[in-house]
Every structure is written in structure tokens, then in C-alpha cells.
Chains A and B, each alone.
Chain A
């Protein structure tokens, strides 16, 4: 059961009326209960992909099934499992928080349940605002309302399309808390984001989409291990103008006006080769009479991986 994907996207293409191809034969399987982050530059097709799955955009080719139900032929079963938080802050300006969230529940065919609505509002710190009209709320509060609306019908799958765009740090942290809580309750979460740190912190798996193509889907840790580069930076006592000849066989470059030597190595084989590489390097430095006062290592972040991926394929 847990092996069957909760969402299966097969050969999905979308060509808009103007001829713009937003998706090119995308295949994607979302696992039950995971947090999946979809990364990609603006206009890459993230929102189109989500919109097709949720039934907001018609596919030009391909299929989507949600929990085994085709999202066109069995749209009721498919859609009732999904909650969608859109990117744009949209709302019925004049209704109250309580009314609009209750509306969402009813719209999805669920009977009234004030207890559940109360729980959702409290988890998003909206309880105090329940009688406020939406038009009186700040942008961050409206974002919370949209999440509450998406959760009102107790979906098994939650789509968050750029949930934290233009949201302050506190709200972002709250939101992550809510998302983790949902995941702990077995809700599958698919989020798109510009903030790579968000994907890095939250996601179990990461998909990168570029110009309508899914370039890569990978476990986050696997991705970072495979593509992550490590850097060792040595802060020198005496600045250098060039990398000395006898050190040339190491992958070295000068930084900080010659005050630092940066050694880049592959994080891939966590292992012996590189450590040997570092040991050799340090020995060679000693021999060359180059002294350093400090050193530190760092692993490249998902952001760097992402940028290099998108550039590489461009």
C-alpha cells in the first residue's frame, strides 16, 4: 500500500493557447506521507503542474491519478483528497475568517464541523481573528487563512504553492511547524518554493523543474551527498600572489586577495580519497613553507546545487 504513489503523473504535457509549452512529458510519483519540494526558476512550470493535478488547468496530454483515481474521470474522489494553497493571495474580501474557512469545508462536501474548524484556526493562530473580515487582515494573516481553507476539509494531500513568498520569518517558522505536524499525521505535502533553505530544511525529496521538464527527482540527502561539493578554506599568514608550482596538482584557487587558499573536493565519496587528499595537501603546504592561521570546511548548500543544475542544463 505504501509503495503505490499517492500521486502518479504520467507523460503530462501542457501547451497553453498561445502556444507556450509549460510542461513537457512530466513523469512524477509522489510517495504517501512525504514532503516533496518542487524547485525551479520563475516560469518553469511549477504552478502549471500543480494546477493540472488539482484540476484548475486541463492537460494537453498525459494522466494524473490521485490515490489511484484518475483526476479527470474520477475527479470527485481525486479532488476530495487534495487541499490547495494557491500562490496568489485571493479571498472573498468581505466575508469573515470563520465563514470563509467553513465555506471551504462545505464546498468540498464535508458536513459542518465547528470543532475541526476551531482546531485549524487555532493551529494557525487565527482563532482571535475569526470574526474579522478578510479585507482587514495583513498579507501574512491572509496567507494563514488560505492554508486554513485548504485544511478545512481534512485533505490527505496538501499542495503549497510558494507558501512563504513575502512572509515574515515568524510566520514562516509557524508554517513549517504546521506542515511538520501535518506530515506527522500522515498528510502528504507538495510544496513549491523559491527559498531553497525551505526545501533544505523541510523536504524529504526534491524535484527540480526547468522549462517544463522535470530535470531531477532525488532524496534530499542523496542529492546533497551526490552533488554537494566540499570546500576547505585555509586562511594564510602571508598572502600569496599565485598558487605555488608544487601545489598545482591540488584543486586550489586563491581567494581574499591571496589571503586564503580554497581547496575544493568532492563530497561524494565521504571517504578515503579526499581525506588522503587533505592530508597530502597539508603535508605539501608544510613542505612549501606556507603557514595558515585558520581553516574551515563547508558543504555546498542546496541553493548552490540548484543554481548549478539550472545553469548546467540551460
Chain B
């Protein structure tokens, strides 16, 4: 294991977000605050409790998940897409490091950023509504696993994308809708039975539900189903990344 190289990529990626600290940190904080103003204060006051939790508190885990998914995907996809786009990837590919180490550096940095942002959003949320965290350990586990998984997904997108349009396409067309339809702002019990069944094929439902369970001890699906799902996604992403590197897809002709 070439730890020096992994550390170098990791720190360079972290430094990149420090240079762009405004869009990296401030914009998610602002957008989360806006969600709270709109959904928590404006709409939430008209909605009574959901499953015994005030609506404002109910949406906190969902909002963090929403932010975690979009930030993980965009950070990681941009992190690997940019050197491909500028051509400076030649250096990484000619360095004495394995594919695993490349992924560890890039995805590790993207996931770290997302976790930090998740915690920042959590802190921001506490300014708006009072809430409690029943299982902080599980909460952190979900935070880390989700950040890791979706950073891997972002890494895959960053390799697959051959232009800025594609880079935006998946987050815009896939991640955001799945998150909004994934019980971020509501309990899926609120849906008609047919749509409840449809929703269960949405992977994000399991993430949001499991994450919410770690806060309030209840979710739309069982915590085990949620954990199994996130592990399954993680596994799938690892397999895909592995296939990409073995085949040299989009990296090595």
C-alpha cells in the first residue's frame, strides 16, 4: 500500500474544496436553511406531527440525506472528471499507485467532505428546530456509509461522463428525484397504497428511513432492511469501479 500517494491525492482533493470553500460549505448550508424556512416554518406549521415527531424535526434526517447524496455525487464526480477534462490525469495514471489507492484518495476525500457537510447541516438544523438523536452511533454509521457509497457512485459518473452535461445529468435526473420521492419530506405512510409499493423500489427510501430511525427510533422500513440496502449499494459500486479499472474504461485506451 502506497500510503504516501493516497495521502497526497486525499490532501490535494481536500485542498481543492478549501479553495472553493464558498460553494463547498456555504451553499449547502444556505439551501438547507431555505428548506427549513419553506418546509419547516411555512408549510410545517400547517402539518401536525408525523409519527409523533414535529414536522420540522421529522424532515431533519431527510434534509441531511438529500444534501449528503447530492454533495457526495457532485464532489466525487467533479474530483475525477476535472483531471480527465484538463488532461492532468496522465500523472495519476503513470504514478506507482494501484487503482484501489486512486479510488481511496479521491473517494475518501469526497466522502470526508460530505460527512463534514452533513454535520454542518445537522448543526444548522439545530438552530431551527429542537430534535434529539436516539442512536448517534448508527447515525454516524449511516452518514459515513452513505457518503462513501454515493461518493463511489459520483466517481463512476465522473469517469463515465465525457462532458459537463453528462456530469450534471445523473444528479439532476436521478439523484434529486429519487431523494424527493424517497420520503425526505414525508412518511411514505402518507402515500396511497399503490405508490407506497412503488416507493419501495426506490433505494433512497431505505437510506432516509434508516437515517431517520437513528434519530427517532422509527422509520418506514426496518433498520436492518436499510442497513442491508446501503451495504448492497456499496457492494455494487465497488464492483462497478473494479470493472472500470480492470477494463481501463475511459481511462486507459
Contacts and interface: CB of A to CB of B under 8 A. Distances in A.
Given A99-B15, A111-B4, A90 B87 contact: yes
A90 B90 contact: yes
Interface string A160-171: 000000000000
Interface stretch (A49-57, A209-217, A306-314): A49-57
Contact of A106 (B8, B16, B83): B8
Given A57-B253, A104-B91, A109 B86 contact: no
A91 B88 contact: yes
Contacts of B11: 106
A84 B90 contact: yes
Interface string A80-114: 10101010101111110001000110111111000
A149 B4 contact: no
Given A107-B8, A107-B91, A109-B5, A77 B96 contact: yes
Which of B4, B9, B11 neighbours the largest number of chain A CB atoms within 10 Å of its CB?
Answer: B4
A285 to B, nearest CB: 60
B248 interface: yes
A92 B86 contact: yes
Chief secondary structure at chain A's binding surface:
loop
Interface in A1-28: 16-17
Given A17-B253, A56-B93, A90 B4 contact: no
A55 B93 contact: yes
A108 B96 contact: yes
Contacts of A88: 87
A79 interface: yes
A58 interface: yes
A122 B90 CA distance: 25
Given A58-B252, A106-B8, A107-B5, A94 B19 contact: yes
B93 A110 contact: no
B96 A109 contact: yes
Contact of B94 (A84, A91, A106): A84
B97 interface: yes
Nearest to A53: B94
Contact of A108 (B83, B90, B95): B95
Nearest to A55: B94
Contacts of A16: 253
Contact of A109 (B83, B88, B90, B97): B97
A75 interface: yes
A119 interface: no
Contact of A107 (B9, B15, B252): B9
Contact of B92 (A76, A91, A93, A107): A107
Contact of A90 (B16, B86, B253): B86
Contacts of B2: 76, 109
Interface in A115-151: 149
Interface residues of A, number: 33
B135 interface: no
Contacts of A110: 4
Which of B5, B11, B91, B248 neighbours the largest number of chain A CB atoms within 10 Å of its CB?
Answer: B91
Contacts of B19: 94-95
A91 B85 CA distance: 10
B8 A54 contact: no
A106 B5 contact: yes
B169 interface: no
A197 to B, nearest CB: 27
B5 A58 contact: no
A64 B196 CA distance: 58
A110 B96 CA distance: 11
Contacts of A56: 90, 93-94, 252
Interface in B1-30: 2, 4-5, 7-9, 11-12, 15-16, 19
A110 B2 CA distance: 10
A92 B83 contact: yes
A94 B9 CA distance: 16
A246 B90 CA distance: 64
A95 B97 CA distance: 22
7 contacts: A76-B96, A79-B96, A92-B82, A106-B4, A107-B9, A107-B91, A111-B4
Nearest 6 CB-CB pairings of A with B: A106-B8, A90-B87, A79-B96, A76-B96, A80-B96, A54-B94
Given A58-B252, A107-B91, A107-B97, 14 more contacts: A55-B94, A56-B90, A56-B93, A58-B248, A79-B96, A80-B96, A88-B87, A90-B90, A91-B88, A103-B8, A106-B4, A106-B7, A107-B8, A110-B4
